[in-house]
Structure 1
Amino acid sequence: MQLKSPESCQFDILSLGEVMVRLDPGEGRVRTARRFEVWEGGGEYNVARGLRRCFGQRAALVSAFADNEVGRLLENLILTGGVDMTHCKWMPFDGVGRACRNGLNFTEKGFGVRAALGTSDRGYTAASQLKAGDIDWDHIFGELGVRWFHTGGIYAALSDTTPGVIAEALQSAQKHGTITSYDLNFRSSLWKDFGGQEECQKVNRELAPYVDVMIGNEEDFTACLGLHVEGLGDQMKELPIEGYRKMIDQATSQFPNFKAIATTLRTVRTATVNDWGALCWHDGTLYEATHRERLEIYDRVGGGDSFASGLIYGFMKTGDAQQAVQYGAAHGALAMTTAGDTTMAVVSEVEALMAGDSARVKR
């Protein structure tokens, strides 16, 4: 992968997507909560923030917010995370939220046999109302310069205009030599009233030809691109490596533009114990990360986004797919040991885990 030089670009990573306020009831449940902890989160944004806070890259966000106190709360959280908001749009708030609003996401971490649970409230949000022509992508990619652009299937599912925004961004990025990545991130709840799985595949297959690095798990590739993983049971208790190889052959045959394909491998034993690993196909070879059986998890939300940010950093730093998938899997594992959508890990911890470091106390 030929990345533009850091000296020629204002940003190392730019993400396009919606950011919501995450309201977390801690160890309890949303339905019985009396107080919530506040975080920010969004599938595409989490990747940029991870690259900024863990890996020290210059990160920026393109999104939109309703200009009210909730929007300014999100601004405060995003800027605390070090992500540039210069290219975000602020939309007038009508005092009620009929015209536009900011999204909320109530999220339980889950424990043992009780699965993690997310309940989003994101209709008519400002970010979902962006449309093609609203952002000057040629200025961002052509004049300011961006090394890597990331977006994904969550943002594509928010409205009938967001796929057009993504397409415009991907095409401009490629025109100006920016590497593009896309996390399929299938969410059935978002697509069910927006044409269902048929529309999901139509939208994602139209965007895929402009993607250099395609990211997702086994469900994502099937639901979003119609690519079947052989040997995968309904409960996904076994993740067949040979089935992935054949699926990747299908993907690269249908989309020869893919420079890399990456997938996480997760077997859910309980909400708090998962087997965790990852694969990355690049230049004809399939690379596998260290497989971590019975990984203890505190909060699984954002683990896949942290995998993506580690993978991107690995490619940026080393250009080596084996190292990239190791960075991704280690970062995802560490991110799931702390609360919130976004990482609290630092690069030295990621590299220590990659090297086989233990969890003994450090003093």
Structure 2
Amino acid sequence: MGSKIITFGEVIMRLSPPGHRTMKQSHEMEFFFGGTELNVASSLAVMGCEVKHISCVSDDFVGEAAIASMKSFGIDTSLIKKTEHPLGLYFLEVGSSIRSSRIAYNRLNGSFANISPDQVDWKKGLEGCGYFHWTGISPGISEGAYETLKQGLQTAQEMGIQITTDPAYRSNLWKYGKKGNEVLKELVSYSTIFIGGVNEINEILGTVFSLDKEGFIEACKELKQQIPSIHKIFDKIRIGVTASSQQTQGRALVDGDYFETELLEVTPVVDRIGTGDAFAAGLIYGLLNYDDEMALKFANAACAVKHTILGDINQCSAEDILEVVNGNSGGRIKR
């Protein structure tokens, strides 16, 4: 099994008024390329990992710009397909203090929503791969995305690859007739490492476990009983004080052992988008390089640091994140 990491998911453009303006206040927009799984891929590439992203983009100058952006991070784009459909996009108004951020999506007729299984050669794509990462966003976008992902997961399982999942459930997706919780339970059954907590487990299993430590442990045990392929569960806790102040903490259950990290506080928050993806990327990097407890600490630090980075992607190196893990969070100038 190799050390390469494969991610599969939408490449989406984010459009935001500059600063903390609302759309009504602004006549100009900043744009960033991202997408849940691509954010993970980009962060891992910044940290020096070998990463390949599988997706579809528009066959125009916008799609070319998206590919150029991925290549600038060092991501292998050889299995990115170009199609006649436009790139998906979303609009974000960045909140501040007591005013929440707001998002509007335009993705359900985009290039990734029209993907089909015959567009991906999974055996070729997964060759030399050690980890395959997916999230619950992708199968919610379209039936084609669901079928393509399922084929990839089956192939990865046959090849003995570690499969990490962040089974995020988004109720504004799932418009094509399938029930999100049923599909996610099916797809999670191919996975080996679960990145999520009580809310995600309750959604998938239809349970009502509490959010406290005891509830988390019981939820994890139930998940592992119903889906035996899952052998490690890592959870990110985020406490929103205001839109400008956030606290993060990690907890996990591995082989029956519970452990957690210290609480990290970020004030002021520069950008909350992509912080969960930074956690997932930090965890995968940590699992490749450290033991499970250190991997969780690294993931939590990566999540916290991302709150200080503009855009969807955590641009911090592994060394930057390790400084936070080691307690150097005072923000002193490096000379």
TM-score scaled to structure 2, two decimals?
0.94
Correspondence 1:1-363 to 2 at 5 A: 4-6=1-3, 12-27=4-19, 28-53=21-46, 55-91=47-83, 93=84, 100-141=85-126, 144-191=127-174, 193-195=175-177, 199-230=179-210, 232=211, 240-293=212-265, 295-318=267-290, 320-357=291-328, 358-363=330-335
Contact 2:269/2:308 (CA < 8 Å) preserved in 1?
yes
Q: In the aligned structure 2, how far is the partner of 1:109 from the partner of 1:242?
A: 35
- Paired position in structure 2 for 1:237: none
Change in CA separation of 1:287 and 1:296 when aligned onto 2, cut-off 3 Å:
farther
Instruction: Please state how far the C-alpha of 1:183 moved relative to its aligned partner.
Output: 0.9
Contact 1:186/1:219 (CA < 8 Å) preserved in 2?
no
Contact 1:262/1:280 (CA < 8 Å) preserved in 2?
yes
Report Cα offsets for 1:21-45 as digits up to 9, x if no partner: 1112122123332111111110111
Instruction: Please state how far the C-alpha of 1:217 moved relative to its aligned partner.
Output: 4.4
Q: Structure 2: which 5+ runs fail to align?
A: none
Report Cα offsets for 1:52-87 as digits up to 9, x if no partner: 01x200111100012012211211211112211101
Q: In structure 1, the residue corresponding to 2:118 is in which secondary structure?
A: coil
AA partner of residue 26 (structure 2): A
Contact 1:276/1:333 (CA < 8 Å) preserved in 2?
yes
Instruction: Please state how far the C-alpha of 1:346 moved relative to its aligned partner.
Output: 1.3
Contact 1:227/1:250 (CA < 8 Å) preserved in 2?
no
Q: Compare 31-40 and 214-223 and name the one that shifted more.
A: 214-223
Change in CA separation of 1:271 and 1:177 when aligned onto 2, cut-off 3 Å:
same
Q: In structure 1, the residue corresponding to 2:113 is in which secondary structure?
A: helix
Report Cα offsets for 1:2-37 as digits up to 9, x if no partner: xx244xxxxx11100001111121221233321111
Q: In the aligned structure 1, how far is the partner of 2:207 from the partner of 2:235?
A: 13
Change in CA separation of 1:5 and 1:155 when aligned onto 2, cut-off 3 Å:
closer
Contact 2:246/2:267 (CA < 8 Å) preserved in 1?
yes
Contact 1:113/1:270 (CA < 8 Å) preserved in 2?
yes
Q: In structure 2, the residue corresponding to 1:362 is in which secondary structure?
A: coil
The alignment yields a C-alpha RMSD, in angstroms, of: 1.6
Change in CA separation of 1:321 and 1:227 when aligned onto 2, cut-off 3 Å:
farther
AA partner of residue 121 (structure 2): D
Q: In the aligned structure 1, how far is the partner of 2:209 from the partner of 2:92?
A: 30
Contact 1:48/1:59 (CA < 8 Å) preserved in 2?
yes
